[in-house]
Every structure is written in structure tokens, then in C-alpha cells.
Homo-oligomer: A and B are copies of this chain.
Amino acid sequence: MPGFRAFHRFSMTYKKKISLKDIAKKAGVSTALVSYVLNGKEKESRVGIAMTEKIRKIAQDLKYKPNYVAKSLRSGKTLTIGLIIADIANPFFANIARVVEDQAKKSGYTVLIGSSDEKPENFKDLINVFVNRQVDGLIIVCTEKSSKQIRILQEKNYPFVLLDRYFPELDTDYVSIDSHQASFSATDHLLKNGFHKIGFIGYESELFHMQERKRGVISALEEAGIQPKEAWFKDIGFDKVETDMKNAMNEMLRAEDPVHAVVFGTYRLAINGLKYIRQLKIKIPQQLAIVSYGQAESFELYECPITYLEQPLGELGRKAVELLISKLHDPQRQSQRILMETKLKIGESSKLPHP
């Protein structure tokens, strides 16, 4: 832990500040010399041990508090990383934030988090706040309509890594899961368990990963020789999940050719869907089978334990930090694109119904 972060030295605006000049005067040396010592550069600057100690002692006696904003302005290093997540109330992001913190801490970085709540304007604000506050780099979970910001960061060669969501057309570092493969495997599992009419409920979103989650279901159905019906695929507005979910479920279940199984594209969609299914007194999996993205540590405590796609949270978070730190050390290195696999954790909600 670098000593300069010790709490008692933080710079406050409410007290008259002791400057390097004050210390220099008392020590009878130049301000530059004091600066060398207090910035730990006494060796390179060949300041003797006795003088180094004298200056440190005076600084301590005068209760000198370095001004870190001014300092980071000069050195350009802050040992902080900014993490922008899409929704802090979503346990997937909250848990990944925890991993990112732990991992960053191991390399001496403190993480500051901002949540965009999936709002492009909040996302923009957060990018500004972080860049203007000069964190060393960013780990970013994008919202919709954020590709322009990402493009600008990229042009400026600002160090960042995309997490969970990415733009296939942009040549940036990213760490994500293979959503197409995940949806494909979930659908394949349902098909093998005897469910053939399989729907997907996702967010109304242009984001690539959400599109892939839908496409994966469609691919698996088509590969099994089943023609996916339009009524089986529903998009939910992020800001009206409750009402959209009711409409979507009603339409899927009351369609001419109703679904037998649903894949939920996120944890929050699953929670909302399950609440409504409970209200309708629909039995899982007898009347409707369920597989969900996103993981809650409590999925297995549910009335009907939910089959879900376990994302490698720990690996995702750790890799993102690793990529960012390597970028900080080598800003010119080639970008790395990493897609990880999910694992299907089989609960009761996707089991073959006994006729």
C-alpha cells in the first residue's frame, strides 16, 4: 500500500496548506530538492540520506499534506480504475464488480464504479466524469448508442477494456461470453428434453450480445428442423419490464401455436417473468419450461430451481483487469478479443414433463 494514501495526510481545503516552499525554507534548501524527496526520487536526484531524513521530518512536523489532484495532474498516474456497469441492481454486474475490485486490489488499484442504468446519457456522463477525474483506465460495460464514445476513446488511445458487451466492428480489447453458443446450448438442451416450441424473451436493444442471444435460439431451432414462429420472440423495453413482460407472456402463451419453453435473456427478465408465471399459476416445467441467462446465488432456492447459463464471472472480471493493466503498461499492444463459454447448470425448470 503506497504510503501516500494514508488517510491522515489527505488534502483538505479547510486548512491553510503547508507548501513545499515552507518546508524548503525551514530546511534551508531549494523547493526542487524538497520535491525530489517527497516524491521518493531522492536516489535519482542524489540527495544524501541525512538531508532526506531532515526534509521528511520537517514535512511531518509541519503536517504537510500533498495535494493529490495537483499531483496526479503532473504524474498522470492515479492508481485508480473506473468501472462502468450497466445496472448495479442486477446481481450479475454487482458480482462482477466485486471480482474486478478484488483483482484490481491485487495490483494496487482502487476501483471506482459508476452505473449507467442502461441509459446512454448516463453512460456519456460517466465516461466524462471518469476521464476528467483522470482514472488510469476504464473497464466498460456499454449501453446502447455508446459506440460513438467507444470510438472516440479508441481514437485517443485511451486505455480501456470492454466487458460483457462489445462491438464486433470495433477493434478493441474485450472480454465477453459467447452468447450465440450459450443460447444454442440452452435451446439444444430443451430440445433434447422434449420441448420443441421454444421462445426467447430479451431486451429491445441493438446491442450485439442481445441479438446473439436471440439468434442462438433461432439457429438451434432451425438446425433441429423447427421453423421458429415470430410470436415466440419478444423484446421487452428496459424501462417498462413489468407491463411488457405481461404482454409478452400473454401473447406467447395464447398464440395459435403457443411455446412450451422460454429462454430468458437476462436475470432481471427471468425474475419478472417468473413472478408473472406464478401469478398465472402456470406450473414449471409441466406447463412451461424455463432456462435463464444470468445467475443469482439463490436460483436454486426457488420453488422450482431454475436451469441457468452460468457465466464465468470470476474469469470475466479477472481477465478484464488483466487486459487493462497490460494495456496501461503497453499502450501500443494489439487488441485482444476474448469470448468465454458459459456452462448450463441444470435445475428442475427444464426437465422433461411426464405425460
> Taking beta carbons and an 8 Å cutoff, which residues of A are in contact with B?
1, 5-8, 10-15, 67-70, 72-73, 76, 78, 80, 87-91, 94-95, 97-98, 101-102, 105, 110-115, 117, 121-122, 124-129, 131-134, 149, 152, 156-158, 271, 274-275, 278, 296-298, 300-303
- Give the docked Cα–Cα distance between A111 and B125 (Å): 10
Partner of A112, one of B5, B101, B113, B298: B113
Name the distance in Å between A264's Cβ and chain B's nearest Cβ: 13
User: Separation in Å of the A1 CB from the closest CB of chain B?
Assistant: 8
The residues of B that contact A158 with a CB separation of less than 8 Å are 12, 14
How close is A23's CB to chain B, nearest CB, in angstroms? 20
Q: Could you tell me the distance in whole angstroms from the C-beta of A126 to the nearest C-beta in chain B?
A: 7
From B67, B72, B132, B271, contact of A68 by CB (8 A): B132
| A128 close to B274 (CB less than 8 A) | no
List, sorted by A's number, 27 A–B pairs whose CB atoms are closer than 8 Å: A1-B125, A5-B128, A7-B128, A10-B131, A10-B132, A12-B131, A12-B156, A14-B156, A14-B158, A15-B156, A69-B69, A69-B133, A69-B134, A78-B133, A88-B88, A88-B94, A89-B94, A89-B95, A91-B91, A94-B94, A112-B113, A112-B114, A112-B133, A278-B301, A296-B298, A298-B302, A303-B303
**A12 to chain B: closest residue by CB:** B156
Contacts of A127 in B (CB 8 A): 7, 10
- Please determine whether A125 and B5 come into contact, CB atoms closer than 8 angstroms: yes
In angstroms, how far is the closest chain B Cβ from the Cβ of A301?
A: 5
Residues of chain B contacted by A131 (CB below 8 angstroms): 10-12
Please give, as numbers and ranges, the residues of chain B lying within 8 Å of A72 by CB-CB distance: 69
Q: Please report the C-alpha to C-alpha distance between residue A87 and residue B133 in the assembled complex, in whole angstroms.
A: 24
Cα of A223 to Cα of B301 in the assembled complex, Å? 34
CA distance A101 to B113 in the complex (A): 11
How many copies of this chain are found per oligomer?
A: 2
Q: Which chain B positions have C-beta within 8 A of A133?
A: 68-69, 78, 80, 112, 133
- The chain B residue with its CB closest to the CB of A132 is B68
Looking at the complex, which one of B67, B102, B129 makes contact with A80 (CB distance below 8 Å)? B129
Residues on B with C-beta less than 8 A from A152 are 7-8
Measured in the bound complex, the distance between the Cα atoms of B267 and A297 in whole Å is 11
- Is there an interface contact between A301 and B303, defined as CB atoms closer than 8 Å? yes
**Complex: A216 Cα to B5 Cα, angstroms:** 39
Contact B114 A113 (CB under 8 A): yes
A113 interface neighbour in B6, B10, B115, Cβ under 8 Å: B115
Q: Which residues on the B side are within 8 Å of A8 (C-beta)?
A: 152
Rounded to whole Å, the gap between the CB of A317 and the closest CB of chain B is: 11
* Residue of B with least CB distance to A131: B10
* Complex interface: chain B residues within 8 A of A87 (CB): 98
Which chain B residue lies CB-closest to A156? B12
CA A89 to CA B317, docked complex, whole Å: 14
- Give chain B residues whose Cβ lies under 8 Å from the Cβ of A13: 76
Query: Whole-angstrom distance between the alpha carbons of A72 and B91 in the complex?
Result: 34
The answer for the CA separation of A332 and B5 in the assembled complex, in Å, is 28
Please name the residue on chain B nearest to A91 by beta carbon: B91
In the docked arrangement, what's the CA distance between A11 and B122, Å? 19
Q: Is the CB of B94 within 8 A of A110?
A: no
| A129 to B, closest residue via Cβ | B110
Measured CB to CB, the closest approach of chain B to A280, in angstroms, equals 14
Cβ of A112 and Cβ of B129 under 8 Å apart? yes
Alpha-carbon gap, A89 to B91, bound state (A): 7
